[in-house]
Amino acid sequence: METGFLEISDSEYRAMDGVNQSSLKSILKSPAHYRAALTQTFEPTPSMALGSALHCLVLEPSEFEKRYVVAPDDVGTRASKAYKDFEKESKGRVILKLEEMDHVRGMLRSVMSHPAAKRMFELDGRAEQACAWIDPATSLLCKSKLDWLTADGVLVDLKTTKDAGEWSFSKSILDYMYHFQAAFYIDGVAKISKQHASALSYKIIAVESMAPYGVRVYSLSDEALDIGRAKVRLALDTLSTCRTADIWPCYATEVAAITLPRYALQGIF
């Protein structure tokens, strides 16, 4: 099995064996949820589609017209004949409405006019860098695809969000487990490059998907990375145990007492 920094296409990356962070984190809910996640297919939400379009425009601009096409105003709804005809003419490219493309362009302008964000993309680096490594503790093959990896060891992750403000985005980090993703990526790059994880840097560029398309650049705290790393370790160890035994349990079977979330009880008792 090939490991290291890989020169492969997106389709080759998707087809290769290996544990990726997006499916791995589901095992923290239960091993059964992890198994289900491996076989489930889903339609990207509109916000996901905009995020993917932005990634392409920022990181691989020469590929944008090959992957995306903007529908004219008079094409109608997805159920209309005009839209279906346009879909055939698009030859598999993702169709964006004019309004959606306006949002993508707005986000692009904000990212590239933000001093810290723009500076990162001006550094020598590689976009959509595929990686593969062996986890030493479990011998599991792991893989990742980094948005932007600079030559001097900065891992850059471009995220679209409703609110890039510090208070709101810190909740997004927790909800979407960006700290888990960061730890998984950093430790993978450290293993491949034979560096200590502390020699690497992880930056999140958060850009709002609606006007004024605000941008903040964040560096995760050591505390957040330590929590993410502990969760990655638990997830990989659990996966290894389940694979060895070929047992994939779901929730606990005993009856459990449950109450309201703690925030709902504040000030009541």
Domain layout of the chain by residue ranges: 4-35+42-245
Q: Residue 62's Cα: distance from chain center in Å?
A: 22
- Among residues 28, 5, 84, 4, which one has the least CA distance to residue 239? 28
Q: Is 73 exposed, middle or buried (0-12, 13-18, 19+ CB in 10 A)?
A: exposed
Q: Do you know the residue count of the chain?
A: 269
Q: Does the pLDDT at position 143 exceed 90?
A: yes
Mean pLDDT of the chain: 93
The pLDDT score that the predictor gives to residue 48 is: 85
Could you tell me the two tokens for 217?
């650049």
- Cis, peptide link before residue 212, omega less than 30° from 0: yes
Rounded-to-integer distance, Cα 15 and Cα 23, Å: 14
SS3 helix, strand, coil % of the chain, rounded to 5? 50, 20, 30
The pLDDT score that the predictor gives to residue 268 is: 64
Note every long-range contact of 57-61, with CB atoms under 8 Å and residues 24 or more positions apart, other chains counting. Answer: 57/104, 57/108, 58/108, 58/111, 58/112, 58/121, 58/158, 59/127, 59/128, 59/147, 59/148, 59/158, 60/127, 60/128
The model carries a pTM of 0.91
pLDDT (average), residues 47-68? 92
The pLDDT score that the predictor gives to residue 267 is: 67
Q: What is the largest CA-CA distance in the chain?
A: 64
pLDDT (average), residues 8-22? 93
Provide the percentage of residues in the chain whose pLDDT is more than 70. Answer: 98
Candidates 3.30.2270.10, 3.90.320.10, 3.30.1310.10, 3.30.1300.10; CATH matching 4-35+42-245: 3.90.320.10
Rounded-to-integer distance, Cα 227 and Cα 250, Å: 23
The pLDDT score that the predictor gives to residue 46 is: 78
Q: Give the tens place of pLDDT for each residue, 98-139.
A: 999 999 999 999 999 999 999 999 999 999 999 999 999 999
Q: Does the pLDDT at position 269 exceed 60?
A: no
Those residues whose C-beta lies under 8 Å from the C-beta of residue 126, and which sit 6 or more positions away, are 5, 148, 149
